Structure 1
Amino acid sequence: MRFGIVGTNWITEQFLQAGRTVEGFRAEAAYSRSAERAEAYAERNGIPLRFDDLDAMTASGTIDAVYIASPNAAHAEQAIRCMDRGLHVLCEKPLASNEAEATAMVEAARRNGVLLMEALKTTFLPNFEAIRDHIGRIGTVRRVQASYNQYSSRYDAYRAGTVLNAFDPTLSNGALMDLGVYCLYPVIRLFGPPRAVKANGVLLSSGVDGEGSLILAYDGMEAVVTYSKITFSEAPCEIQGEDGNLVFDKMSQPTRVERRTRDGAVEDLTRPQSEHTMRYEIEAFMETARRGETQSNVNDFATSLATMRVMDEARRQMGLVYPADRKAR
């Protein structure tokens, strides 16, 4: 599959490294609004074609799919333009700025008969599959504790008076969109949409959230989600059942999974996993496209839309509004 790359940042570098481990993957073209940046990025990564016009790339006939890793606020518009050209789209998380944009993207995929998939890598990882496969061994689940708290190096600049992209509301950024989604998406994939959401967050003067917490209410259980870009934590994550717990080190990409019981027994459930953790979503995306399907059977439309709905509600409760929200009304 021939990919066009939208975005010239560190995540696209990781994507390319992972893609090179997948049979049939080809990075054929790179796009940036800056011709100089596109040229330098393509040269550095051995990509033969480079564009500073997205429509020119999508109409070139040289690519089959597009990986979008531009700022969140650009996802929907760029993805729809690509899908309207008949191209498959693998779009970085979060899929869009809000549910309205995400819905328009899903409609475009169906209208054009192409694949749209959210690039939330966690749900494809062997160690996430280990968690999923062993939930039935801990009894009735009563609580999930999911966290992703990672101090951002860009917050140092923010504290010094410079607002970089990570804390810019015009790009639909902030801690919930960047890190919180890594907790919410897997929880919703495992347990479905919650029946109620309670949210609180710390809003920064730039207009985005620096950290926050959510309680997702389910019948008989709750999921407690915490996330931050302005503090850090090394606390593990847990799924707590009446007969035992599943404990894992990281929500975004678990590398160690254990089943623990009240008598102190510990069972290692960890599975071998590539260091290039994005390779699993790339493989799944390519295989789904080959089958001619418009959505993944893992990162499906229902999970992406439910996650966006929860994030919209959380932001509503926090008073966090993006310019993109006003456009969607």
Structure 2
Amino acid sequence: MVRFGVVGTNWITESLLEAAKGVTGFELTAVYSRDSKRAEEFASKYGVTKTFTSLEQMASSEEIDAVYIATPNSYHAEQAILFLQNGKHVLCEKPLAANAMEVKTMIQVAKDHNVLLMEAMKSTLLPNFKVIQENLDKIGSIRKYFSSYCQYSSRYDKYKEGIILNAFNPKYANGSLMDLGIYCLYPLIVLFGEPNDVKATGNLLDSGVDGEGNIILKYDDKNASIMHSKITNSYLPTEIQGEKGSIIIDKIHTPEKVEIHYKDGTIESLTVEQSHPSMYYEVQEFVDIIQQGRTESTTNSYKHSYTTMQIMDKVREEIGLVFPSDHK
């Protein structure tokens, strides 16, 4: 069994723990919260007795082998590095950090201590994403990737009332690109690697984060277009366009329906049944890697995470989006 601690007692952690119930080799043994009462209440829901209000004590504890970090983005690097330095494996929510420099440091610390660091990007580990990878050759030479993730945030209503919650606060390295745009970018990098050029536009809100934006990425033989937003909705699917046909993906963040639309008008369904909750697959991947004695995922790899964050840094530079973390 891989004994886990969790840092972050929020709905994301609850979703992961619910999914992890079906993961072979997963055992929750400890919970961290700054508030001891909150830690105890959260732990009791899962039959856990060990709680911490000190990250340092948790990181040095011999009662955990790994940790799942689901705190605000600006805390990811510092917290992950603490656990990595103490020989703990780290599954860290996306985005892995606030900028590429932080990601580079995290990767080096993981390598130095021979432990696993993995970005909890669920989409690229789902069964229907693997189907996409396996069937790319069917659509011939690929010329265009288009992806959209625009979802009106319930927190935006509060923002318009003058209440700035974490989702729209640059202190926490948040905003549309970091929260939603990454879901469009990461699969692109896994499928096609690093682009030659990146251009971007975006609208910055008064709080200092981006509400929405567009990214154009140039490859030798193809282009990619990405739309992301936390202040509007989009109902468009993602497309990978080839000369023989196009792969249509219903939701890039959680692919559940995948089809090929061929030039001749025929449609081939590639959809496979997803028998577990979407977050199950990232946890199972993480546990499997540890149990196999490896220290890196081949899909959510160091290269893919670092390249994605480098592109996000470039996008932020283009639109003038700056986080306090950039100046540490």
**Category of TM-score, reference length = shorter chain:** over 0.9
The aligned residue for residue 58 of structure 2 is 57
Distance 2:277 2:315 in 1: 32
Q: Counterpart of 2:134 in structure 1: which amino acid? A: D
Would the aligned equivalents of 1:42 and 1:48 in 2 still touch at CA under 8 Å?
yes
Would the aligned equivalents of 2:40 and 2:49 in 1 still touch at CA under 8 Å?
no
Q: Counterpart of 2:241 in structure 1: which amino acid? A: Q
Greater shift in the superposed pair: 50-59 or 67-76 = 50-59
Secondary structure, aligned partner of 1:62: coil
The reply to whether residue 31 of structure 1 matches residue 17 of structure 2 is no
- For 1:231-246, list aligned pairs within 5 A: 231-246=232-247
Q: How many Å apart are 1:275 and its aligned residue?
A: 4.5
Distance 2:47 2:228 in 1: 36
- For 1:10-21, list aligned pairs within 5 A: 10-21=11-22
Q: How many Å apart are 1:293 and its aligned residue?
A: 2.0
Which blocks of at least 5 consecutive residues in structure 1 are unaligned? none
Distance 1:275 1:150 in 2: 24
- For 1:307-326, list aligned pairs within 5 A: 307-326=308-327
Distance 2:36 2:26 in 1: 24
Q: Counterpart of 1:272 in structure 2: which amino acid? A: E
> So what's the TM-score if we normalise by structure 2?
0.98
Secondary structure, aligned partner of 1:173: coil
The aligned residue for residue 93 of structure 2 is 92
Would the aligned equivalents of 2:59 and 2:88 in 1 still touch at CA under 8 Å?
yes
Q: How many Å apart are 1:292 and its aligned residue?
A: 2.2
Q: Counterpart of 2:218 in structure 1: which amino acid? A: A
Greater shift in the superposed pair: 155-164 or 286-295 = 286-295
Structure 1 residues 157-202: Cα deviation after superposition (integer angstroms, max 9, x where no partner): 0011100000010000111000000110000000001110000111
The aligned residue for residue 82 of structure 2 is 81
The aligned residue for residue 106 of structure 2 is 105
Secondary structure, aligned partner of 1:118: strand
Secondary structure, aligned partner of 2:322: coil
Structure 1 residues 256-297: Cα deviation after superposition (integer angstroms, max 9, x where no partner): 000001221111100111351111111111111122222111
Structure 1 residues 197-217: Cα deviation after superposition (integer angstroms, max 9, x where no partner): 000111000000011110010
Greater shift in the superposed pair: 276-285 or 34-43 = 34-43
The reply to whether residue 265 of structure 1 matches residue 253 of structure 2 is no
Distance 1:253 1:274 in 2: 13
Q: How many Å apart are 1:48 and its aligned residue?
A: 2.3
Distance 1:301 1:65 in 2: 18
Distance 2:193 2:316 in 1: 20
The aligned residue for residue 225 of structure 2 is 224
Would the aligned equivalents of 2:186 and 2:305 in 1 still touch at CA under 8 Å?
yes
Would the aligned equivalents of 1:114 and 1:292 in 2 still touch at CA under 8 Å?
no
> So what's the TM-score if we normalise by structure 1?
0.98
The reply to whether residue 202 of structure 1 matches residue 203 of structure 2 is yes
The aligned residue for residue 170 of structure 2 is 169
Q: How many Å apart are 1:23 and its aligned residue?
A: 1.5
Percent identity of the aligned residues?
Answer: 52
The aligned residue for residue 253 of structure 1 is 254
Distance 2:158 2:56 in 1: 35
